[in-house]
């Protein structure tokens, strides 16, 4: 028997396979396809304080190597989430980690306080400090001081809710940002959100996306995300949730060995919606193949030949 449970700070998961925010709706949409009990957890789409219509279309485009999206956090707002989505999410037989994005530092804190007061049933809260597609372009996690401050202030108003800081890869040194999140009191960081990119239609001399730029995701970004996770794991300051291009069991094992304590499956949900549950079912075999009897024992076991 392989023990699949993992602990990231105070966040406890019965297995390390999560589904990433924005790629799994609010879970109900996926119910016909996915046995939620087989997942370590679900992270619903980011919610903002007020409803947002999102960016103008087209909002997604497939490139030769990866998907570009500029959804722009289209959502019905926090109160709608609490009233209409949370009652369903609470019934799921797996951990549900809410995901919020504030427009300002103060708004992050107000939203976190509201979730703490009304979000009974959530296993944790992911702070989306890293959406590249929101006009104003406030990418909080490009600045270590801002990252530390938001995490700390959210921590103060959510004393007993596990907090995960979701980081952007669009920085020079992600280790510094992760260290700041750890310092602010994050239970874990998730790395990474999408890489900013663009697509052009040269015949029309137009950008393909209505927002001009978007975030690149999918298998193309796996090596980049893996390196980010490995760098953060070397800090040994905060558990890491790996995300970026994960779609197979081998991808998951690569991330675990490189230092991720858990992973999120994102874009793969669009082209292979049952990937997450199949990977979770196959995980014990891969862990056992490394001679381990618990998944936590393979985390961060990468050795660099001297
Ligand atoms: C269409 C789409 C929408 C997304 N929306 C969100 C979101 O609302 N909040 C968030 O934190 N991340 C969002 N993401 C980022 C993913 O959660 C994930 O971090 C990223 O796509 C990298 O993982 P992947 O390559 O497995 O997709 C979105 C990604 C895609 C492709």
Domain count for the chain, please give it. 1
DSSP letter assigned to residue 53? -
In this structure, the residue with its CA closest to atom 31 of ligand 1 is 267
Question: Is the residue at 303 inside a domain?
Answer: no
**Span 252-269, pLDDT tens digits:** 999 999 999 999 999 999
Distance of CA 71 from the midpoint of ligand 1 (Å): 10
pLDDT in tens, 96-144: 999 999 999 999 999 999 999 998 999 999 999 987 666 555 589 999 9
CA of 266 to the centre of ligand 1 (A): 6
Long-range contacts formed by 72-75: CB under 8 A, 24+ apart: 72/133, 72/134, 72/135, 72/211, 73/46, 73/48, 73/101, 73/131, 73/133, 73/134, 75/45, 75/46, 75/47, 75/48, 75/51
Asked if residue 235 is part of any domain, the answer here is: yes
Which residue, 260, 249, 262, is CA-closest to 302? Answer: 260
Give residue 139's domain range: 6-298
pTM over 0.85: yes
If one residue of 85, 168, 190, 194 were mutated to test the ligand 1 pocket, choosing by the most ligand atoms within 8 A of its CB, it would be: 194
Tell me if 1 is assigned to some domain: no
How remote is the CA of residue 45 from the centroid of ligand 1, in Å?
9
- Give the pLDDT confidence of 187-234 residue by residue, as tens digits: 999 999 999 999 999 999 999 999 999 999 999 999 999 999 999 999
CB 103, CB 95: distance < 8 Å: no
In a domain, 304, yes or no: no
Domain contains 163? yes
Domain-located, residue 237: yes
Provide the residue count of the chain.
Answer: 306
- Position 192 in a domain: yes
CATH of the domain at 24: 3.20.20.70
Element (H, E) at 243: strand 240-243
Is residue 171 a part of any domain in this protein? yes
195, two tokens: 């890489």
CA 208 to CA 299: how far, in whole Å? 40
């Amino acid at each position: 028997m392989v023990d699949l449970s993992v602990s990231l700070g105070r966040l406890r998961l019965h297995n390390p396979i999560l589904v990433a925010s924005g790629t799994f709706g609010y879970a109900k949409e996926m119910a016909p396809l996915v046995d939620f009990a087989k997942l370590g957890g679900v992270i619903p789409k980011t919610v903002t304080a007020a409803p947002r219509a999102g960016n103008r279309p087209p909002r997604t485009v497939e490139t030769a190597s990866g998907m570009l999206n500029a959804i722009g956090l289209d959502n019905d707002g926090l109160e709608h989430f609490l009233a209409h989505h949370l009652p369903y999410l609470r019934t799921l037989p797996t951990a549900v980690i809410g995901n919020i994005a504030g427009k300002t530092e103060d708004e992050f804190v107000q939203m976190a306080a509201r979730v703490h007061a009304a979000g009974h049933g959530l296993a944790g809260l992911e702070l989306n400090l890293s959406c590249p597609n929101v006009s104003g372009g406030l990418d909080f996690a490009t600045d270590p001081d801002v990252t530390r401050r938001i995490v700390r202030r959210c921590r103060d108003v959510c004393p007993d809710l596990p907090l995960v800081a979701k980081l952007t890869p669009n920085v020079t040194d992600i280790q510094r940002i992760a260290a700041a999140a750890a310092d602010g009191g994050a239970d874990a960081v998730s790395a990474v959100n999408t890489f900013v990119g663009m697509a052009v239609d040269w015949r029309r001399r137009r950008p393909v996306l209505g927002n001009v730029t978007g975030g690149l995701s999918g298998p193309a970004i796996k090596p980049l995300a893996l390196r980010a996770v490995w760098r953060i794991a070397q800090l040994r300051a905060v558990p890491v949730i790996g995300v970026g291009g994960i779609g197979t069991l081998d991808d998951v094992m690569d991330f675990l060995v490189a230092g991720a304590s858990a992973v999120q499956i994102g874009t793969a949900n669009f082209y292979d919606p049952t990937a997450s549950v199949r990977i979770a079912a196959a995980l014990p075999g891969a862990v056992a193949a490394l001679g381990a009897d618990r998944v936590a024992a393979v985390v961060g076991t990468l050795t660099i030949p001297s």
